């Protein structure tokens, strides 16, 4: 979990590959209305997120051994996302605003413009109980740290 540009997909796919698990990208499950809002540079509101988080929760209940890349910026979102799940761990990918602004400026996300990064930092409620990873290091280092803290 983390803000845009932090490496959720890159690190999540690498971790899932090493663990032999399925990687799920939460962005693939946004309803069309959410995608249109974000593509227009409009931050999502909680009401926009609840159905999306419910859909992801259902997906996680059906899927065993998966890595989900999801912003999950607020505690309420993380609670909704994991409701009824027996086992899960959050990995909080964090980086400085400047680092992530540079990354976002250098990439073209399919619907998340770099202009929304500031609103994500403003909405972010860092989790108290997550594996915390500084993404200034290479992907391989991030994955190794996660695996070590997961005990895998």
Rounded distance between C-alpha atoms, residue 20 and residue 42, angstroms: 36
Q: Is residue 86 classed exposed, middle or buried when 0-12, 13-18 and 19+ CB atoms within 10 A define those classes?
A: exposed
Alpha-carbon Rg for the chain, nearest whole angstrom, is: 15
Q: What is the dotted CATH code of the domain comprising 8-150?
A: 3.40.50.300
From 56, 65, 64, select the one nearest 83 (Cα to Cα): 56
**CA distance readout (Å), 56 to 24, 30, 98:** 9, 9, 30
Residue extents of the structural domains in the chain = 8-150
Length in residues, the chain: 152
Query: What percent of the chain is predicted at pLDDT more than 70?
Result: 93
The whole-number pLDDT of residue 72 equals 96
User: At CA 118, angle to CA 4 and CA 81, rounded to 5?
Assistant: 45
pLDDT in tens, 8-44: 999 999 999 999 999 999 999 999 999 888 888 787 8
């Amino acid at each position: 979990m983390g803000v845009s540009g932090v490496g959720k997909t890159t690190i999540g796919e690498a971790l899932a590959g090493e663990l032999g698990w399925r990687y799920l990208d939460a962005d693939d499950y946004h309803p069309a209305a959410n995608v249109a809002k974000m593509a227009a540079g409009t931050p999502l509101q909680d009401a926009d997120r609840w159905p999306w988080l419910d859909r992801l929760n259902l997906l996680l209940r059906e899927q065993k051994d998966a890595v989900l890349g999801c912003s999950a910026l607020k505690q309420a979102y993380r609670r909704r996302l994991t409701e009824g799940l027996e086992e899960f761990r959050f990995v909080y990918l964090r980086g400085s605003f400047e680092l992530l602004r540079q990354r976002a400026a250098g990439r073209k996300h399919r619907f998340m413009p770099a202009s929304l990064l500031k609103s994500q930092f403003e909405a972010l409620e860092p989790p108290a109980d997550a594996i915390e990873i500084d993404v200034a290091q290479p992907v391989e280092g991030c994955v190794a740290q996660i695996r070590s803290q997961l005990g895998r």
